[in-house]
Amino acid sequence: DAKTTQPPSMDCAEGRAANLPCNHSTISGNEYVYWYRQIHSQGPQYIIHGLKNNETNEMASLIITEDRKSSTLILPHATLRDTAVYYCIVRDRTSGSRLTFGEGTQLTVNP
Amino acid sequence: NAGVTQTPKFQVLKTGQSMTLQCAQDMNHEYMSWYRQDPGMGLRLIHYSVGAGITDQGEVPNGYNVSRSTTEDFPLRLLSAAPSQTSVYFCASSNLRLAGGPNTGELFFGEGSRLTVL
């Protein structure tokens, strides 16, 4: 699976959009981009995933660049409960659920 | 909705003791795995299984054994606990097939088991 690079920490004001970047310059054509988050030592929680098209669900939006070398997770209206570590992961169909977690981005939402 | 259930939630062991962390899922998932997470770090894969009777090593398998006799259960055994195994352990499960249709291929995690080895 391709390696990802994320900033170690970010801050966001409550109610504003949080934009979390991820670089995955060595991603291959059959690898998906997944985002998980972990709130204060709880088990990680799935947020969203995509292959090459932008995706949106009730939690977030995922924007993947045309060359697929980077992506951005967008939390449109961040709340205090969105404070967590966010992990960007790339995986292919053959890796099953053998996810490789980096150190992620600690997002702190401030009141 | 039980999902993935881990027991115990907390455990303190002495060096050299053995124990088993239990993991059970009720979603009929083919894939199950164990991760450990040390302070300030991401999760590292210990062992995983793609179905009953099949197990394989992950990134950090030394000191741990697993078995998968049923689809539902995937216990993790520490044969002779060491202080370096002090960590939070997470079990996870998933459908094997990725994406497409209603299957997101996401991993479902348990709440974690915090182990301290003295």
Which of B37, B41, B107 has the CB atom closest to A97's CB atom?
B107
Kindly list the averaged pLDDT for each block of 10 residues, start to end, along chain B of length 118: 90 97 94 91 90 92 96 96 96 71 72 96
Residue B102's pLDDT is 45
Higher pLDDT, B83 or A40: B83
Residue B99's pLDDT is 46
Interface of B with A in 18-37 (CB under 8 A): 31, 33, 35, 37
How far away is chain A from the Cα of B38, in angstroms, using its nearest Cα? 10
Q: Do B99 and A49 touch (CB under 8 A)?
A: yes
How far away is chain A from the Cα of B86, in angstroms, using its nearest Cα? 15
Residue A38 scores a pLDDT above 90: yes
Residue A98 scores a pLDDT above 60: yes
Residue A7's pLDDT is 96
Query: Nearest residue on chain B to A86, judged by CA atoms?
Result: B42
Following DSSP, what letter does each residue of B44-106 receive, concatenated?
EEEEEEEETTEEEE-SS-TTEEE--SSSSB--EEESS--GGG-EEEEEEEE-SS-SSTT----
Could you tell me if A22 and A70 are in contact, meaning their C-beta atoms sit under 8 angstroms apart?
A: yes
What are the tens digits of pLDDT across the range A1-31?
668 999 999 999 999 999 999 999 988 888 8
Could you tell me if B18 and B78 are in contact, meaning their C-beta atoms sit under 8 angstroms apart?
A: yes
Residue B100's pLDDT is 44
Residue A53's pLDDT is 85
Residue A105's pLDDT is 96
Task: Please state, in angstroms and rounded to a whole number, the distance separating the CA atoms of residues B30 and B44.
Answer: 20
Instruction: List b or e across A61-72, with b for residues whose CB sees 16 or more CB atoms inside 10 angstroms.
Output: bbbbeeebebbb
- Chain A residues lying within 8 Å of B98, measured CB to CB: 32, 91-93
Neighbours of B109 (CB within 10 A): 24
Residue B4's pLDDT is 95
* pLDDT-based confidence at residue A97 (cuts at 50, 70, 90): low
Q: Which of B30, B25, B31, B57 is nearest to B44 (CA)?
A: B57
Residue A41's pLDDT is 78
Residues 6+ apart with CB under 8 A from B19: B11, B13, B77, B78, B81
Task: Please state, in angstroms and rounded to a whole number, the distance separating the CA atoms of residues A48 and B35.
Answer: 21
Q: What are the strands of the beta sheet with A31-38, ordered from one edge?
A: A9-13, A105-110, A84-92, A31-38, A45-50
Residue A14's pLDDT is 97
Query: Average per-residue pLDDT in chain A?
Result: 90
> Which candidate in A97, A99, A105 is best for mutational testing of the B interface (most B CBs within 10 A)?
A97
The average pLDDT across A89-111 equals 81
Task: Please state, in angstroms and rounded to a whole number, the distance separating the CA atoms of residues B90 and A63.
Answer: 29
Task: Please state, in angstroms and rounded to a whole number, the distance separating the CA atoms of residues B13 and A99.
Answer: 29
Residue A89 scores a pLDDT above 60: yes
